[in-house]
Amino acid sequence: MIGWLTVGALLFPQQVEAVSFEQVRFAGGFWGPRLETNRRVTIPYDLAKCAETGRLANFAVAGGLLEGAHQGQRYDDSDVYKVIEGAAYALATAPDPALDAQLDELIAWITAAQEDDGYLYTPRTIDPAHLPDGAGEGRWSYLVESHELYCLGHLFEAAVAHHAATGKDSLLQVAVKAADLLLATFGAGKREGWPGHQEVEIGLVKLARTTGRAEYAQLAQYFLEARGTKSAEPPGLSDGHRQYVQAHAPVLQQTEAVGHAVRAGYMYAGMADVAAATGDARFLSASARLWEDVVERKLYLTGGIGARAAGEAFGDPFEMPNATAYAETCAAVANALWNHRLYLASGKAQYLHVLERTLMNGFLSGVSLAGDRFFYPNPLARRDGPVDPDGDGGRAPWFSTSCCPVNVVRMLPSVPGMQWAVQGEAAVACLLQSGVARLKVAGRAVTLRMETG
């Protein structure tokens, strides 16, 4: 029987305890071969692509270890952090000394790229006079599009995963230094603002759990509460742009999923995280309300979200075209993360149904069985012509904006962390997959083996 926790005037089921990825080992079955392909093929492939396109070198150049100019887009730092996160998950399940050493070298470059006060954003550090479009003239000056905070959110997630998998704190130290700069910079009575692309909220809560520093979760709450308020809004924002970045109304007052689907999914997941970390049930209630809108009106059969290519956005209620469906791979990742968090916060199985559907369909279609070709959008029907903006009609080897391939790399090996949960005196099987889990239930160490076809 589910226990109940009274929060304010609302009742929510007691939070469910997650079972971390390093406590679960998959063996064969549906997911086992896909995780093995990710480890053997996709992780080294994505690392090689990040090297080939200058994403890795940007850190060495920013740190004075190499000479050169910044290469790529203003948000490319995040791609490297995502690959590190995925590689860390893989190291936890399959020790790999060569990959471990490669991450150590890359983390040394990231450490060198960080400025003395904790600021970390390679395009500005390398050449502040010649910045990529959208970066803003100065630090934090164009948060609505600069992706400075978005990149740091992925840094925080990578640092937590690397620390959990290896026990090392090299990247965690970088993350804490950057987070402390955010604490000193943003908040009531300080600089007002919020990230145009949500993600830092998720990263801050993860960092709070790992370090025990509640102020990081409180900063995530600030970023959510500042969104949609006039005092923190950048000048010149149009109504359309407000909707695109979910700033058309205060977060707690939003009732319909609108705008860029990836940004929205990350924000809704962050709302559930903040509710769990702070005990503020308003954020869980608002997130669950938005979930109802998505599931009842805007969710593809595959678990994909985001019907429109224009703005990579949600459409109107029941606007669900097949041939022109966008259903971005990253949006499926965000949807899966959101549903897992809502389950952990509520214990309600409805969220697990959507999680499983999204993982096995809307997300998994984004990577080939070989592990080195990717979909950015995932339409449900196709005639002649390319599916992807940089593709040849099928899955593409890479993209100029490659958020999807690197999101695949981190999502696949994190799935073991979604299979089991602990609820009071019960272990809950959230996903069916052969393997072994070692966890604690009611204070007792338990080993559980699942066998399934």
Catalytic (active-site) positions: 312, 403
Torsion-angle region of residue 303: left (phi > 0), alpha (psi -120 to 50) or beta?
Answer: left
Distance of CA 366 to the CA centre of its chain: 16
Write the single-letter amino acid at 378: N
Q: Say which residue the tokens 């850190």 belong to.
A: 59
- In whole angstroms, give the CA distance from residue 297 to residue 108: 47
DSSP, collapsed to helix, strand or coil, labels residue 422 as strand
Tokens of 268: 């809704």
Cα 255 from Cα 258, distance rounded (Å): 9
Tokens 């390319």, residue located: 386
End-to-end distance of the chain based on CA atoms, in angstroms?
29
Order of strands across the sheet with 444-450?
A: 24-26, 435-441, 444-450
Strand pairing class (24-26; 435-441): antiparallel
| Selection from 285, 241, 276, 233 nearest residue 260 by Cα | 241
Please give the helix or strand (H or E) that residue 274 lies within, else none: helix 261-278
Q: How many C-beta neighbours within 10 Å does residue 123 have?
A: 27
Provide CB contacts within 8 A for 50, sequence distance 6+: 56, 79, 80, 83, 406
Instruction: Check: CB of residue 79 under 8 Å from CB of residue 403.
Output: yes
